[in-house]
Amino acid sequence: MLTTLEHASSFDAENISEEQAIADVKSAILNKMSLAVGKDAAYATDRDWFVACALAIRDRIAHRFLAGKRSSTSDGKKRVYYLSLEFLIGRQLTDVLSNMEMLDVFKHALGDLGVDYERVRNAEPDAALGNGGLGRLAACFMESMATLSIPAYGYGIRYENGLFRQAIKDGWQQEYPEDWLAFGTPWEFSRSDVIYDIKFGGSVETNRNDAGSMRFTWHPSEVVHAVAYDTPIVGWRGKHVNPLRLWAAHTMDPLRLELFNKGDHVGALSDQARVESISKVLYPSDETPAGQELRLRQEYFFVSASLQDLVNRHKRIFGDLYSLPDRAAIQLNDTHPAVAIPELMRILIDEHGLPWDEAWRITSNTFSYTNHTLLPEALETWPLPLFERLLPRHLQIIYFINSLHLEGVKAAFPNEPALLSSVSVIDEQGGRRLRMGQLAFIGSHTINGVSALHTDLMRATTFRDLHRVYPNRIQNKTNGITFRRWLHQSNPGLTGLLREVCGDEILDNPEAIHRLMEHADDASLQERISKVKHANKVALARLIADRTGVRVDPAALFDVQIKRIHEYKRQLLNLLETVALYDSIRANPTKDWVPRVKIFAGKAAASYVNAKLIIKLANDIARVVNGDPSVHNLLKVVFLPNYNVSLAESIIPAANLSEQISTAGMEASGTGNMKLALNGALTIGTIDGANIEIHDHVGSENIFIFGLTTPEVEDRRANGPSAQTSIANSPMLGQVLDAVGDGRYSPEDRGRFRPLVDGLRNNDRYMVTDDFDSYYAAQRRVDETWAKPDVWNRAAIANIANMAWFSSDRTISEYAEQIWKVPVG
């Protein structure tokens, strides 16, 4: 009997029995173990088993991969190219096996060999080629595009070191290099034949030809090689496989290098290190742009390789480049790949001899751009001198794009000269910089926000003037998550229950989960849902004990805030409420308090001082609270180190309460909020990002909403600092701030948290003090609801049942129909 995600038909199709399938897989694994890993099974480590399994399943994927490539080449289908500087993939083994409907067969085969699948699964390092939500979105989208059989390539960088590994030492974050590739990865195919020259620097020579038109020749001062590595991305039920093509930087071949350096070997080696640094490390920052030259080199490196690759492919299949917009849709995931716009212009004009107007028609009908943030400090800009030094030809092209664009604006809005400076690609204030958001907008046919609110704010704030000039370009595409990873794989207990109650159809059609609502009032279903959750909490409690030494009671309310540590996400608000709750419990220990475990996880950018101090505060509060016998087990605080996709997969199925408490107007969408609600956690959240749409889907009685709205936040900002008043009006908040500021949680360094507290008192940019009372009150509503298990469990059911719309299959279908114009399925 098959228990998890298996479907008997997968064997029927190949007309073999389950026993035969297991025997075949066993021999495939053993074969890989001896011939590819080079080990005797008797001495194999967990990692060896992982590699052998990955190679065994990869063989089966490869056939479909090649078949898919051949068919979409021959039928001339339009392709989607998803350009992203980040792909936060995590582990792939379970994803691949369950999408290939081979998970149970592999588990059985390994079991017969005396090997535990869980250990094999845990031996795979996370592919952490991203910081947070933006990178994880790219990974969910790749999986959904494959599931919907959309011919697509993901393009990015094959970072040798992904996002740093976080350790907590004495409560402080420490960063260690992450080395997922230290022993290679069995998933990828290296394509030593797919290599492109990437040029940097030098000068541009201008000539006039006989007909009088200009010709531009770029003489770069440096050439780097981009080498392709393909990882197959398998869609659900293995119907379709797409490549994720990641580029690695290599120096030119040693012979040419030697010529280059005229026998200077040391110079040649340092050159090599400099060149290869381009694909060495992911920039560890998601909310502020990296200003470094290396970052710009990374962006151009992967963009140029990807465009050369797709232009080549298009020419090979279709013969000319005029049909590019009909056969290719290029999606820019944020502005990081926006230099693709002048790069495509350069390729079309300088390398293929197209006239400017035709090149612009092709370019602006091929690109679309997703905006991910409106935080002013996060909008990417480049100093003109740096950009000109690295990409002189591209700067010329951008100037020309901009001047034509501004001429158009002048003609359409003759009486509004002020409009020009706001819609220009060049920021004339503050030292002449290139604004990549403006460039991406001007060069794209469609620009999308990632939630309804965020899209409205794009139209009303950052892109208000560009929206007036090009009023039909902005669309909304609310983010989504792949249910395969975030429900079926990470929460098999809940998935099994859903299949029983709603039918196997849920595996293919998330809307079928809505049938759960028919039983929302059944005590028996409520009981079963809560049993599944409890089992997941027992597993998480064990993980918490293993990793932090803290013992938590699985019967307590598990309250989780897991995401990048950032002031706008307001972990600090949660921590201040934790202190207030701790004080209230101690003041009134016999009251019927709801036992809670506050679980935090997340990384802070290494240079982000306040975020790192917030991590320290969480750990210092944890030490005091967990060590205080007077609160018994009513409150525990846990900071789980090294948040990544795998840790998220362990925490989310065990969560009761999902903290989504960003300052209104600052979280573009959020996707953690979707994962948690789908797994039956109730949200405590602000009216921000996709929380608003989650609220609309699950209903007001099944979510705890609090805090200022976006317009209220703007009003308060306009009226000057409001923290003094908020603190004066809230004795509880005043006490909490005094306690934290005076060192109650840091007796060995009483001034440690002064900067955080003074920051709130003097310049509370993120409205923590304004929202404190409302948040505290919402938390007490949480307590009241938890005290009525039938009400809580019914609400958990309503959350699970109403999240279908947040499947990334829905999001990708909308992109396909409304932006890319490619057929689905």
Ligand X SMILES: *Cc1c(COP(=O)(O)O)cnc(C)c1O
Q: Which is nearer to ligand X, 132 or 449 (CB)?
A: 132
Burial 221-246 (b: 16+ CB within 10 A, else e): ebbbbbbbbbbbbbbbbbebbbbbbb
Q: Output 670 or 741, the one with its CB closest to ligand X.
A: 670
CB of 88 to ligand X, least distance (A): 6
Residue among 671, 710, 726, 807 that touches ligand X (CB under 6 A): 671
54, 186 contact by CB (below 8 A)? yes
User: Could you give phi then psi for residue 127, rounded to 5 degrees?
Assistant: -80, 100
CA nearest neighbour of 453 among 143, 689, 661, 694: 689
DSSP per residue, 530-584: HHHHHHHHHHHHHHHHHHH-----TTSEEEEEES---GGGTHHHHHHHHHHHHHH
Q: Binding marks (x or -) toward ligand X, 135..174, rule CB under 6 A?
A: -x--------------------------------------
d(CA 506, CA 515) in angstroms, rounded, equals 10
Distance between CA 484 and CA 487 in Å, rounded? 6
- Rounded Cα distance between 761 and 157, Å, is 42
644 counts as binding ligand X under rule CB under 6 A? yes
Applying CB under 6 A, the span of 414-422, 606-614, 669-677, 810-818 interacting with ligand X comes to: 669-677
Nearer to ligand X, 473 or 563 (CB): 563
In the shown chain, the binding pattern of residues 540 to 569 toward ligand X, with x for contact by CB under 6 A and - for none, equals -----------------------xx-----
Contacts of 452 (CB under 8 A, 6+ apart): 476, 478, 692, 693
Binding segment toward ligand X, per CB under 6 A, in 65-73, 196-204, 584-592, 644-652: 644-652
Residues numbered 445 to 464 that lie near ligand X (CB under 6 A) are: none
The residues carrying an active-site annotation are: 372, 563-564, 569, 671, 675
The interface region with ligand X, picked from 350-358, 377-385, 619-627, 641-649 by CB under 6 A, is 641-649
Binding ligand X (rule: CB under 6 A), the pick from 133, 154, 289, 685 is 133
Q: Which is nearer to ligand X, 132 or 162 (CB)?
A: 132
Considering the complex, state which of residue 136 and residue 716 has its C-beta at the smaller distance from ligand X: 136
Nearest-approach distance from CB 434 to ligand X, in angstroms: 28
Q: Is 670 one of the binding residues for ligand X (CB under 6 A)?
A: yes
Q: Please answer whether residues 275 and 297 qualify as being in contact, where contact means their C-beta atoms are separated by less than 8 angstroms.
A: no
**Which ranges constitute the DSSP H helices of 652-753?**
672-678, 691-698, 710-718, 723-729, 731-741
Nearer to ligand X, 132 or 289 (CB): 132
- Rounded distance between C-alpha atoms, residue 288 and residue 698, angstroms: 33
Return the DSSP state at 481: B
Q: Which is nearer to ligand X, 571 or 730 (CB)?
A: 571
By CB under 6 A, residue 616 contacts ligand X:
no
If one asks whether residue 125 binds ligand X (CB under 6 A), the answer comes out as no
Q: Which of 703, 681, 660, 683 lies closest to 540 in space, CA to CA?
A: 681
Give Cβ neighbours of residue 391 (< 8 Å, ≥ 6 apart).
200, 296, 300, 339, 342
Q: How near is the Cβ of 659 to ligand X at its closest, in Å?
A: 9
From the list 75-83, 469-477, 533-541, 640-648, the region that binds ligand X by CB under 6 A is 640-648
808 vs 821: CA distance, rounded Å: 17
132 binds ligand X (CB under 6 A): yes
Closest of 379, 377, 451 to residue 686, by C-alpha: 451
- When asked if residue 603 is in the footprint of ligand X (CB under 6 A), the reply is no
Choose between 401 and 604: whose C-beta lies nearer to ligand X. Answer: 604
How near is the Cβ of 548 to ligand X at its closest, in Å?
A: 18
CB of 483 to ligand X, least distance (A): 13
Site size toward ligand X (CB under 6 A) is 12
- 655 contacts 596 by C-beta, under 8 angstroms: no
Considering the complex, state which of residue 166 and residue 644 has its C-beta at the smaller distance from ligand X.
644
Place of tokens 């064990």: 542
* 434/648 with CB nearer ligand X: 648
Whose Cβ is closer to ligand X: residue 68's or residue 133's?
Answer: 133
Helices 103-112, 18-32: inter-axial angle, 10-degree rounding: 70
Q: Which residue's CB atom is positioned nearest to ligand X?
A: 672
| 672 contacts ligand X (rule: CB under 6 A) | yes
- We find the least distance from the C-beta atom of residue 686 to ligand X, in angstroms, to be 13
Q: How far is the CB of 800 from ligand X (least distance, A)?
A: 18
Which H or E run includes 54?
Answer: helix 46-74
Q: Which helix (H) or strand (E) holds 22?
A: helix 18-32
The token pair at 100 is 């290939």
Q: How far is the CB of 550 from ligand X (least distance, A)?
A: 22
Shortest gap between Cβ of 218 and ligand X (angstroms)? 39
**Distance of closest approach, residue 163 Cβ to ligand X, in angstroms:** 9
Q: Smallest gap, in angstroms, from Cβ of residue 769 to ligand X?
A: 23
Contact stretch for ligand X (CB under 6 A) within 355-363, 460-468, 643-651, 712-720: 643-651
> Alpha helices of 75-126 — where are they, by DSSP H?
93-99, 103-112, 117-122
Site string for ligand X, 333-372 (x = CB under 6 A): ----------------------------------------
Q: Of 462-491, which residues contact ligand X (CB under 6 A)?
A: none
Tokens 């009761």 label which residue?
656
225 binds ligand X per the rule CB under 6 A: no
Question: Which of these ranges, 169-177, 629-637, 668-676, 800-808, lies near ligand X under the rule CB under 6 A?
Answer: 668-676
CA-CA distance, 393 to 349, in Å (whole number)?
11
Of all residues in the chain, what percent are helix, strand and coil, respectively (each to 5)? 55, 15, 30
Footprint (CB under 6 A) of ligand X, residues 647-666: 648
Which of 5, 138, 344, 645 contacts ligand X by CB under 6 A? 645
Residues in contact with ligand X by the rule CB under 6 A: 132-133, 136, 563-564, 644-645, 648, 670-672, 675
